[in-house]
Amino acid sequence: MYTQRVLSGMRPTGRLHLGHYHGVLKNWVRLQSEYECLFFVADWHALTTHYDDPSVVENNVWEMVVDWLAAGINPNQTTLFVQSKVPEHAELHLLLSMCTPLGWLERVPSFKDQQDKIKDKDLSTYGFLGYPLLQAADILMYRADQVPVGEDQVPHVEFTREIARRFNHLFGGEVDFEKKALEASKKLGGKRSRLIVELRQNFQEKGDEVSLERAKAVLQEAQNLTFDDREILYGYLEGAKRLILVEPQPLLSASSKLTGLDGMKMSKSYGNTIGMREDTDTLVSKLKRMPTDPARVRRKDPGEPEKCPVWGLHRVYSSERDLNWVKQGCNSASIGCLECKKPLIDAILSEQKKFKERARPFEEDLGIVKNIISDGCEKARELAKQTMRDVRECMKLDYS
Ligand code: TRP
Ligand code: SF4
């Protein structure tokens, strides 16, 4: 069976917080056992807004990858890499830029939003405008089927689909398709290869859909085909143009935003975060000082969890039983706020313990992290080279 490929990236913001864990990383960890996953550090994307301060990027890259590993991302299962170490991304970005209408970029919502929001930087740059196109290159490079992203990134995936469609339309028919298909079908062995040719004829000459389905099933089951072979053979069966670039789907995670220490969404820019590897004393004191429902001035005043920032964390960390205990205890003022926070603090501490245990070997020897990334870059680069070969070929740039 062909496993779908999942790709996602994160800008290197340094150490991650619990919002990142519950909003993104937990999801990545789940995906890694269901799909072929590639996760990467979008360090060039960081430069689109931090071009004036590039010296912080390196440290942020390593700190962030340690947090990925602390979250339970398994480098034996998943390919982890750094964008700038796979320079093919830059080449694809450049080639795609040739056929990207300016208006498409200007209409991506994040372009205006960020320019309005970030006032202390000049974002009227070529690099910033090209942000979504660089992201499209990241995704299309690996022919990713699914891209797990937050809601804010969905327009970027949508944009990527449009770029793929346009590219395929402009250049897609040009690859020497028949020859490649016959080559790929040889890997199926004589018997199955002849079967494919026969079934294809039934479909293309007599319109027999059943033959098409049967042929597809044969390809699905074939173990020894690469992703590319299978794509080529699908195209061959249907007689369509070869799809050079694959349109990805956004994969929205169900998890909502985690509440920060002040009741707003947890975010570095609000200064209301709890780190994934926070110092224990700081963590406990942050949680103890966390504001509660303002109605509970005195211990005997009843409160409403819905009006309390602590509740937002309880909802993520506590069992149904504890949630009921909080609701009743708060409404009836039978528990105090510190008492209410106790099970939450314990739950967060035990989660931190797991993170710290996983992170320890990497903190002690960053060389291990660097090796993981360098292995991942090598794997990613192999895939990237295949795509670039096809892209150059269909754009007639493969001359020498
Ligand atoms: N723009 C994404 C973010 O800010 C990061 C990113 C860059 C990305 N390239 C990507 C995400 C490719 C998914 C796929 O979160
Ligand atoms: Fe918040 Fe719990 Fe205090 Fe109620 S009892 S106000 S939910 S901390």
Dump pLDDT digits (tens) for 205-237.
777 889 889 998 988 888 888 888 888 888 888
Closest listed ligand to the CA of 292: 2
pLDDT of residue 174: 45
Pairing of strands 79-82, 5-10: unpaired
Query: Which atom of ligand 2 is nearest the CA belonging to 327?
Result: 7
Task: Compute the distance between CA of residue 185 and CA of residue 174 in angstroms, rounded to an integer.
Answer: 20
pLDDT of residue 145: 94
Average pLDDT (142-170) is 95
Atom 3, ligand 2: residue with shortest CA distance: 337
Closest listed ligand to the CA of 160: 1
Q: Please report the domains of the chain, with CATH numbers, ordered by start residue.
A: 5-172+365-394 (3.40.50.620), 177-238 (no CATH), 277-363 (1.10.240.10)
Tell whether ligand 2 has an atom less than 6 A from the beta carbon of residue 175: no
Task: Compute the distance between CA of residue 196 and CA of residue 41 in angstroms, rounded to an integer.
Answer: 41
Query: Which atom of ligand 2 is nearest the CA belonging to 341?
Result: 8
pLDDT surpasses 50 at 270: yes
Q: Give pTM, 2 decimals.
A: 0.85
pLDDT surpasses 90 at 271: yes
CA of 116 to the centre of ligand 1 (A): 20
For ligand 1, mutation pick of 44, 79, 149 (most atoms within 8 Å of CB): 149
Atom 11, ligand 1: residue with shortest CA distance: 9
Which residue blocks in the chain are alpha helix, DSSP H? 18-20, 26-32, 43-50, 57-71, 88-97, 102-107, 109-117, 126-129, 131-141, 154-171, 177-186, 190-206, 209-221, 227-238, 280-289, 309-317, 320-331, 337-364, 366-394
pLDDT of residue 233: 86
For ligand 2, mutation pick of 317, 337, 344 (most atoms within 8 Å of CB): 337
CA of 292 to the centre of ligand 1 (A): 35
The fraction of the chain above a pLDDT of 90, given in percent, is 74
Amino acid symbol at 336 = G
Pick from 251-265, 274-288, 295-309: least confident: 251-265
For ligand 1, mutation pick of 5, 11, 247 (most atoms within 8 Å of CB): 11
Amino acid symbol at 260 = G
Tell whether ligand 2 has an atom less than 6 A from the beta carbon of residue 303: yes
Q: Which residues of 302-341 are buried (b: 16+ CB within 10 A; e: fewer)?
A: ebebeebbbbbbbebbbeeeeeebbeebbeeeebbbeebb
pLDDT of residue 203: 82
Confidence label for 2 from pLDDT (cuts 50, 70 and 90): low
The residues facing 8 across adjacent strands are 39
Tell whether ligand 2 has an atom less than 6 A from the beta carbon of residue 286: no
Average pLDDT (289-310) is 96
- More confident: 310 or 118: 310
The fraction of the chain above a pLDDT of 70, given in percent, is 97
**pLDDT 10s digits, 169-191:** 899 864 566 777 888 888 888 88
Q: Which of 344, 363, 254 is nearest to 15 (CA)?
A: 363
CB atoms within 10 A of CB 56: 13
**pLDDT 10s digits, 347-357:** 999 999 999 99
pLDDT surpasses 90 at 36: yes
CA of 256 to the centre of ligand 1 (A): 18
Average pLDDT (145-160) is 95
Evaluate whether 142 touches 383 at the Cβ level (below 8 Å): yes
Pairing of strands 249-252, 36-41: unpaired
The residues facing 146 across adjacent strands are 6, 249
CA of 275 to the centre of ligand 1 (A): 21
Tell whether ligand 2 has an atom less than 6 A from the beta carbon of residue 290: no
pLDDT of residue 320: 97
pLDDT of residue 353: 98
Task: Compute the distance between CA of residue 362 and CA of residue 299 in angstroms, rounded to an integer.
Answer: 45
CA of 146 to the centre of ligand 1 (A): 13
pLDDT surpasses 50 at 321: yes
The residues, any chain, with a CB within 8 Å of residue 3's CB and separated by 6 or more, are 35, 36
pLDDT surpasses 60 at 241: no
Query: Which atom of ligand 1 is nearest the CA belonging to 148?
Result: 13
pLDDT of residue 173: 62
CA of 390 to the centre of ligand 1 (A): 24
The residues lining ligand 1, judged by C-beta closer than 6 Å to any ligand atom, are 7-11, 42, 45, 135, 138-139, 147, 149, 153
pLDDT of residue 386: 94
CA of 331 to the centre of ligand 2 (A): 9
CA of 151 to the centre of ligand 2 (A): 30
In angstroms, the Cα distances linking 272 to 231, 287, 352 are 47, 11, 17
The residues facing 79 across adjacent strands are 38
Closest listed ligand to the CA of 41: 1
Average pLDDT (99-116) is 93
- More confident: 169 or 328: 328
Query: Which atom of ligand 1 is nearest the CA belonging to 135?
Result: 9
Average pLDDT (25-51) is 96
Task: Identify the three-state secondary structure at position 156.
Answer: helix
Task: Compute the distance between CA of residue 307 and CA of residue 165 in angstroms, rounded to an integer.
Answer: 47
Confidence label for 257 from pLDDT (cuts 50, 70 and 90): confident
Evaluate whether 258 touches 313 at the Cβ level (below 8 Å): yes
Average confidence score pLDDT of the chain: 93
Pick from 160-164, 180-184, 217-221, 239-243: least confident: 239-243
